[in-house]
Amino acid sequence: MPLTDERRALRDAVRGLLASRPDPLWPRLCKEIGVAGLAVPASHGGADATLLESQVVMTELARRLTPSPMLGSAVLATQALLRAGATDLLPSLCAGDRVATLLFLDDHTVSVAGRLTGEASQVLDTAAADVLLAVTGDGLWEVAATARGVDVLPCDVLDATRPLAVVHLDDVPAWRLSDDPGLLPWLRDLACVALSAEQVGAASRAFELTHEYVRQRVQFGRPIGSFQVIQHRLAEAYLSLEAATTASWTAAEAVAAGAPDTATPAAMAKVCCSEAQRAITAEMVQMHGGIAITWEHDAHRYLRRAYADAELFGSPGVHLNRLAAALELSPGP
């Protein structure tokens, strides 16, 4: 990732705050560093930066598997509002005083006379959110989290650091914020790109921890990192991580620049980063041996995050089919 001096300073500030383990974390990240409004213009309470700076923060948060509404509120919700031109909520979101989350409503959503009926799965941050932004094929809607007809069902999740829920809307009052039909596919692409930064962050930390361990663990009188088979596997993991980092950053640059085609780099980032994260965290478990499957060690947490991330916003198979369709190729089995 090409870090400028400013991005390096941002990374170090976030890393330092996370290392101190403050409580509460999210308010301090918002008040002291301004992470919730990085990609929002200063005129709306933001920091006047770009999605690339948000990518830096999400990478750092994922390195420690830190739960936060960064992805759902600070990136997806704020960018949805900006594109819709509905900016009234932005100052409170950027300050961290409020939290919003995005509902990708299913194909059976009905919007009639300012009311919504439908279902969204894999919804982020429902416990913290007081604003629901529903995106449908015909635009963006605002829904009060406490409105009658809103039913939130927490999911059993593989990764406990990222709670998810299914949200049912049954004839719920909603305020239309945009009638842009292109908003839904654009937000899906943005979600994949933003998530890829987290995938790179978690994978990079898993690789670092594994590299440190094999240099310390002694077997047959030698560090196991001196064995050729371990070196080869680490080299493959490193190349996979570098490829994922490039795919993620390339996609982020395309979105930040307003490129006409974000679907292709977004799908490539989702596929590449998902596969790299799963491969690297699997090697983490294998190379740590028995200690990796204990609850006390973090290896299983990184592996859980990898498998959960792979399914969020569409599995790698779904995005491979998108790429195949874009290239006019037949999808794989």
The predicted model gives 138-150 an average pLDDT of 94
- Cβ proximity of 95 and 50 under 8 Å: no
Q: Are strands 222-223 and 110-112 parallel, antiparallel or unpaired?
A: unpaired
Predicted TM-score of the model (pTM): 0.94
Cα–Cα distance for residue pair 258/102, rounded to 1 Å? 21
Residue 111 pLDDT greater than 80, yes or no: no
Tokens describing residue 241: 């991580």
3-state secondary structure (DSSP) of residue 21: coil
Q: Which residues, at least 6 apart from 133, have a Cβ–Cβ distance to it below 8 Å?
A: 77, 80, 81, 100, 101, 102, 103, 140, 141, 142, 143, 177
Q: What is the pLDDT of residue 134?
A: 96
Q: Cβ contacts of residue 186 below 8 Å, gap of 6+? A: 83, 262
Average pLDDT, the chain: 94
Residue 72 region, left (φ>0) first, then alpha (ψ -120 to 50), else beta?
Answer: alpha
Please check the confidence at residue 172 and state whether its pLDDT lies above 80.
Answer: yes
Residue in the structure block whose two tokens are 């930040």: 256
Between CA 143 and CA 117 the distance in angstroms is 11
Q: With cut-offs at 50, 70 and 90, classify the pLDDT of residue 24.
A: confident
Regarding beta strands 139-144 and 150-154, do their DSSP bridges make them parallel or antiparallel, or are they unpaired? unpaired
Model confidence band, residue 113 (pLDDT cutoffs 50, 70, 90): confident
Residue 156 is classified by DSSP as P
Mean pLDDT across the stretch 101-120?
87
**Mean pLDDT over residues 63-81, rounded?**
97
* pLDDT tens readout for residues 48-62: 999 999 999 999 999
CB of 253 within 8 A of CB of 1? no
Query: pLDDT band at residue 328, thresholds of 50, 70 and 90?
Result: confident
Domains and CATH numbers, the chain: 1-98 (1.10.540.10), 99-180 (2.40.110.10), 183-326 (1.20.140.10)
Helix (H, G, I), strand (E, B) or coil at 87: coil
How many secondary structure helices (H) and strands (E) does the chain include? 10, 10
Q: What is the DSSP string of 282-318?
A: HHHHHHHGGGGGSTTSSHHHHHHHHHHHHHTTS-HHH
Residue 295: what pLDDT?
A: 87
- 296: Cβ–Cβ under 8 A, 6 or more apart, which residues? none
What percentage of the chain has pLDDT greater than the value 70? 98
What local confidence, expressed as pLDDT, does residue 112 receive? 75
Per-residue pLDDT at 333: 52
Mean pLDDT of 118-122: 95
pLDDT value of position 306: 98
Q: Three-class SS of residue 242? A: helix
* pLDDT surpassing 80 at residue 136: yes
Amino acid 326: pLDDT: 83
Mean pLDDT for the stretch of residues 77-89: 97
CA distance 139 to 176: 7
- Average the pLDDT over 232-242 and give the result: 98
